[in-house]
C-alpha cells in the first residue's frame, strides 16, 4: 500500500529520470508498437514543455513511481484549446496501487485550475488504462482506424 505518496512537479534530476524512462512508457502505452529512442522522446516532449506543458510525478520517499504529462491542445476543427493528457505512466513495480487514478485526478484538477473546460487524451484501443479513463468520466469522442497493407 502506498501511504506517503506525493504528487508534484519534478526537480531537474527527476525530470531527467522521467525523460530517460519515457521510451519504456511509450512502448507500454502503444502496446509494444513503438519503442522510440531518447532523442525521439526529446523531439516530442521538448516543444510541449516549451509551450507550457509539464510533468507531475508520483513519489514516495523520493522514489519515482510514475508520472503524467499535461498541457494544452488545440482542436483541429474548432480551434478551441482544451486541456490534454499526453502521457500517463506508472513503473511496473508500483502498478495496482491506485497511482494512475491519483495522478489523473491531480492532473484534471490542475487543468481545471488553468481554466480548461474539457480534458482530452488519446489511447491505443487495447490499452488497459481505458477502463480507468471511463471510470473517471471520459467518453470516446473520436476513433482512429488503421488498415495494414
Q: Nearest 5°: CA angle at 7, between 73 and 31?
A: 55
Q: pLDDT at position 134, please?
A: 95
Q: pLDDT at position 58, please?
A: 97
Position 118 confidence tier, pLDDT thresholds 50, 70, 90? very high
Task: Give the three-class secondary structure for 64.
Answer: strand
Round to whole Å and give the CA distance between 10 and 8.
Answer: 6
Q: Mind listing the pLDDT tens digit for each residue in 60-113? A: 998 999 999 999 999 888 889 999 999 999 999 999 999 999 999 999 999 999
The cell numbers describing 132, all together, are: 480507468
Residue 30 has pLDDT above 90, yes or no: no
Q: pLDDT at position 4, please?
A: 86
- For the chain, percent of residues with pLDDT exceeding 70: 91
Q: pLDDT at position 34, please?
A: 60
Round to whole Å and give the CA distance between 20 and 72.
Answer: 23
**Backbone dihedral angles phi then psi of residue 141, each to the nearest 5 degrees:** -110, -45
Q: pLDDT at position 44, please?
A: 83
Ramachandran region of residue 115, left (φ > 0), alpha (ψ -120 to 50) or beta? left
Q: Mind listing the pLDDT tens digit for each residue in 127-137? A: 888 999 999 99
Position 33 confidence tier, pLDDT thresholds 50, 70, 90? low
Q: Is 148 exposed, middle or buried (0-12, 13-18, 19+ CB in 10 A)?
A: exposed
Mean pLDDT across 113-117: 96
Residue 28 has pLDDT above 80, yes or no: no
Residues 6+ apart with CB under 8 A from 10: 17, 18, 55, 57, 67
CATH architecture of 6-135: 3-Layer(aba) Sandwich (3.40)
Task: Give the three-class secondary structure for 132.
Answer: helix
Q: Is 4 exposed, middle or buried (0-12, 13-18, 19+ CB in 10 A)?
A: exposed
Q: pLDDT at position 20, please?
A: 87
Strand partners, 120: 84
Round to whole Å and give the CA distance between 95 and 114.
Answer: 29
- For the chain, percent of residues with pLDDT exceeding 90: 60
Amino acid at each position: 500500500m502506498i501511504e506517503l505518496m506525493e504528487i508534484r512537479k519534478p526537480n531537474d534530476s527527476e525530470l531527467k529520470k522521467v525523460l530517460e524512462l519515457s521510451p519504456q512508457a511509450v512502448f507500454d502505452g502503444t502496446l509494444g508498437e513503438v519503442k522510440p529512442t531518447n532523442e525521439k522522446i526529446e523531439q516530442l516532449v521538448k516543444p510541449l514543455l516549451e509551450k507550457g506543458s509539464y510533468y507531475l510525478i508520483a513519489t514516495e520517499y523520493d522514489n519515482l513511481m510514475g508520472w503524467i504529462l499535461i498541457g494544452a491542445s488545440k482542436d483541429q476543427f474548432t480551434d478551441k484549446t482544451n486541456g490534454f493528457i499526453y502521457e500517463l505512466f506508472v513503473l511496473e513495480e508500483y502498478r495496482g496501487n491506485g497511482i494512475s487514478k491519483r495522478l489523473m485526478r491531480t492532473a484534471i484538477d490542475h487543468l481545471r485550475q488553468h481554466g480548461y473546460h474539457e480534458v482530452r487524451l488519446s489511447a491505443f484501443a487495447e490499452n488497459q488504462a481505458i477502463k480507468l479513463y471511463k471510470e473517471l468520466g471520459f467518453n470516446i469522442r473520436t476513433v482512429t482506424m488503421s488498415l495494414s497493407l
